[in-house]
A and B are shown apart, each in its own frame.
Chain A
Amino acid sequence: MIATIVDWGALGQTILAALLGGVGVAFTFSLTILGASRFGQGSRELSVFESIGYGALALFGLAATAAAIVFGIIVMASG
């Protein structure tokens, strides 16, 4: 009976969105911290290229995190 009552499609989309949103933001923000942390170690431990790479990683992670949050709120508000 429950199988026919529940809209499994909508519930599945909820589960997928929550998984992607919750885990995705944790992933991208961790990359931001990794990049910023290593970039902050500076020239003592890293080459110039490594510093630039970690700086780019931090910026990418931050942009991806912000984009995911803004996208989520826009999708919700447009529902």
Chain B
Amino acid sequence: MTEADVILYIVVGTALAFDFTNGFHDTANVVATSISTRAMAPRVAVTYAAILNFAGAFISLEVAATVAADVVVADVITPTIVFAGLIGAIAWNLATWYFGLPSSSSHALIGGVVGAAFVAIGSEAVLSDGVIGKVLVPALIAPLLAFIVGGIAIVVCYRILGRQRPGPVTRGFRLGQVVSGGLLALAHGTNDAQKTMGIIALALIANGNLSAGSDPPFWVIISAATAIALGTYTGGWRIIKTMGTRIIKMDAAQGFSAQGAGSAVILASTHFGYPLSTTHVISGAVMGAGAGKRLSAVRWGVAGNIVSAWLLTFPMAAAIGALTYGVTRIFGDGAIGPILIAAAGIVLTAMAFARRIRASSTVPAG
């Protein structure tokens, strides 16, 4: 086994850990609406979401192709650059989680890789057209689109059913939420798991195990699917404990509209290979469904969080990715740098979790 192979193993392990935390953080977004409207029991909702997250990872590879081919020049990237980018993303996510700041795992992942590649090779390693055209602009449009679709959808529901007796209508939408909630979990799985697949594919290309432009191997797909599903399942149990204080109130029609809007935006974007922040899209759809009923119901602070996360996450993750690459270079080209940084990362993460869990029994959604 060469030192490059050791670095590759570290990258794959780190990427899967990132995928697991993505599922862990996002469980709340995916299941909260179904639980809030009592469409599903919490345990059923979490298990259902985990299974559909897993299934979703298998239905498309467009987003993985974007991450592997349209963000940085795959031919000049090394596994150490990918590793530094991942550390940049994880460090920024951890810091924002610890201090309660808004973030986006997706933007952090791409920002981290771009920052590390920029410092390691230069601006020629970054595909700015791809970053702007396939990541940043869609990331800005998608939450707005989800807000509009969610808003129109709830107005349509109320127009058609406004004069009906509330009992049958609520029961009907609760039944509908079994499907719309499942679709949302499927959409979340397909967009988010593919980002990890793309990153692992990039590392495999960098190490010479995969030719540029190839689809990720099956073991990458199934391991990314498993990691995000396990993260969703594990994260769900904490959500069940804390849901009483954290879940917003909405009726079943709003829940159905928000889940349908979020699913439609994520699935359509995934088809065209746009790696979105699924958290932002789901938040936008929930706000749209709220605004459709009553404008004052919108939590504009959430909108502010999305904007600040959009502005901050990419450059901050890029800066940490660049810094991490610089630190690994102190130890030379070999595996020592990534090994030391990965070990330090595990210790710091454990310390942050221990401190945070001692300070509070709640975990914010990602």
Does B156 make an interface contact (CB < 8 A)? Answer: yes
Summarize A's interface: helix, strand, loop or mixed.
helix
Interface string of B141-169 (1 = CB under 8 A from A): 10001101110111011001100110011
- Map CB proximity to A onto B254-289 as digits: 1 under 8 Å, 0 otherwise: 001100110111011111101000000000000000
> Which one of B156, B269, B271 lies within 8 Å of A75 (CB-CB)?
B271
* Residue contact B156 to A27, C-beta cutoff 8 Å: yes
A30 lies within 8 A of B160 (CB): yes
Residues of B within 8 A of A69 (CB): 179, 183
| Known interface pairs A15-B145, A33-B172, A36-B168; A79-B271 also in contact (CB < 8 Å) | yes
Most chain A CB within 10 A, of B153, B157, B173, is at: B153
Can you name the residue of chain B whose Cβ is closest to the Cβ of A38? B164
- B271 near A21 with CB under 8 A, answer no
> How many inter-chain contacts with C-beta < 8 Å in the A-B complex?
130
Chain A residues whose CB sits within 8 angstroms of the CB of B60 once the complex forms:
76-77, 79
**Which of B128, B157, B169, B260 touches A37 (beta carbons < 8 Å)?**
B169
Let me know if A40 is at the binding interface, CB within 8 A: yes
Known: A11-B137, A77-B60, A79-B60. A22 touches B260 (CB 8 A): yes
Determine the chain B residues whose CB is within 8 A of the CB of A67 once the complex forms.
none
Q: A48 an interface residue at 8 Å Cβ cutoff? A: no
Cα separation A23 to B152 with both chains bound (whole Å) = 7
* CB-CB nearest in chain A for B153: A26
* Residues of B with C-beta under 8 A to A15: 141, 145, 268
Binary CB contact string for chain A from 36 to 48 against chain B (1 if under 8 A, 0 otherwise): 1110100000000
Q: Closest Cβ of chain B: how far from A54's Cβ, in Å?
A: 11
Verify B168–A14 contact, CB threshold 8 A: no
Asked if A17 lies at the interface with its beta carbon under 8 angstroms from chain B, I say: yes
The distance in angstroms between the C-alpha atoms of A65 and B265, with both chains bound, is: 17
Task: Tell me, yes or no, whether B80 is within 8 Å of chain A by CB.
Answer: no
Structural contact, A18 and B157, CB atoms closer than 8 A:
no
Return the contact of B268 from the options A6, A7, A14, A27 (Cβ within 8 A).
A14
Q: Is B346 part of the contact surface with A, judged by Cβ < 8 Å?
A: no
Nearest B residue (CB) for A27: B156
Enumerate chain B residues within 8 angstroms of A73, measured Cβ to Cβ: 59, 186, 267
A48-73 interface code vs B (CB 8 A; 1 in, 0 out): 00000000000000000100010011
Complex Cα–Cα for A18 and B271 (A): 11
Q: Give A7 to B141 CA distance when docked, in angstroms.
A: 13
Given the complex, which residues of B lie within 8 Å of A29, measured CB to CB?
Answer: 172-173, 176, 256
Q: Are B137 and A23 in contact (CB under 8 A)?
A: no
- A25 partner residues in chain B, CB cutoff 8 A: 153, 180, 260, 264
In the bound complex, what is the Cα–Cα distance between A38 and B264 (angstroms)? Answer: 29
Query: Is B21 located at the chain interface by the 8 A CB criterion?
Result: no
Q: Assess the A76–B271 pair: CB atoms within 8 A.
A: yes
Inside 8 A of A27's CB, which chain B residues have their CB? 156, 160
Cα(A26)–Cα(B259), bound, Å: 10
Residues of A within 8 A of B154 (CB): 26
Chain A residues engaging chain B, CB cutoff 8 angstroms: 2, 5-7, 10-11, 13-15, 17-19, 21-23, 25-27, 29-34, 36-38, 40, 65, 69, 72-73, 75-77, 79
Q: Interface of B with A (CB < 8 Å)?
A: 59-60, 62, 128-129, 132-134, 137-138, 141, 145-146, 148-150, 152-154, 156-157, 160-161, 164-165, 168-169, 172-173, 176, 179-180, 183, 186, 190, 256-257, 260-261, 263-265, 267-272, 274
For the complex with contacts A19-B152, A25-B264, 16 further pairs of A-B residues with Cβ separation under 8 Å are A2-B133, A6-B133, A11-B272, A14-B138, A14-B265, A14-B274, A17-B271, A19-B148, A22-B150, A23-B152, A23-B156, A26-B156, A34-B160, A76-B60, A76-B270, A77-B59
A-B contact pairs, 11 of them (CB 8 A): A7-B134, A11-B138, A11-B272, A15-B145, A25-B260, A29-B172, A37-B168, A76-B190, A76-B270, A79-B62, A79-B272
